[in-house]
Homo-oligomer: A and B are copies of this chain.
Amino acid sequence: MQEDDAEPLNPKTRRHLRRAEIVTAAAQIFAKNGYSNVGMRDIADAVGIRGASLYHHFPSKEEILFAICLTVTREPVEENLPLLDAAGTPSERLANLVRAHVRHLRGRRVEHLVGLHERASLTSEHLAEIDEYRQCYNHRVRDVLTAGMRSGEFRELNPKVVALGMLDMLNGVSGWIRGASDDDVDEVADIYLRLLFDGLRP
């Protein structure tokens, strides 16, 4: 059970950690100042190295942005979508997804902001890859809505529009949730679920 904590990490892991450190620092500065207003020197300062040294870890500034965008589109697909395949009614599965989605938004808040605002600075190839994940997520949400409508559990409303509206509402949380606690984000999720399922009218 016991392991030597002082054992040097293997080079692959060290390299990966350094990349993650750069991505995290860059996301913070991009979110605050805007991607194109941030220089490689600014990112380098934040991690304590020189600008040129960043090119040992990333081939370009845009690749750093791509890495940020990828985490906030791929992670939700891989971590949240399986909740839609689990057992339960459409309501239950959708509720689980909403809660997981808001928690992810909080945990990767600045990355989500960058992913939402800086899409125009991605290469068209990278943008296409990002959009694949985004549309996949979108479609799966639409599908569970459709399933609920088919079973009579949900009201019949254009599922495409409902899915877009719901996801816009959820994603907007990254714009104002700064510094919230676990209880805060769960409360937001509960309010949104109540609104989504039962509406404003008592």
Contact of A154 among B116, B168, B191, B202 (CB under 8 A): B202
| Chain A contacts to B: CB under 8 angstroms | 31-37, 91, 116-118, 120-121, 145, 148, 152-155, 157-158, 161-162, 164-169, 171-173, 175-176, 187-188, 191-192, 194-202
B118 contacts A155, CB within 8 Å? Answer: no
Contact B148 A164 (CB under 8 A): no
A197 to B194, CA, bound (A): 11
A72 to chain B, nearest CB (A): 15
Residues on the B chain within 8 Å of A168, using CB = 168-169, 171-173, 175
List chain B residues, Cβ under 8 A from A164.
Answer: 172-173, 176
- Taking a contact as CB atoms under 8 Å apart, the answer to whether B120 and A33 are in contact is yes
Q: Would you list 25 pairs from A and B whose C-beta atoms are within 8 A, ordered by A residue? A: A34-B35, A36-B36, A117-B117, A117-B118, A117-B120, A152-B202, A154-B201, A155-B198, A155-B202, A157-B194, A158-B191, A161-B188, A165-B192, A167-B172, A168-B171, A168-B173, A168-B175, A171-B172, A172-B172, A195-B199, A196-B199, A197-B199, A197-B200, A197-B201, A198-B199
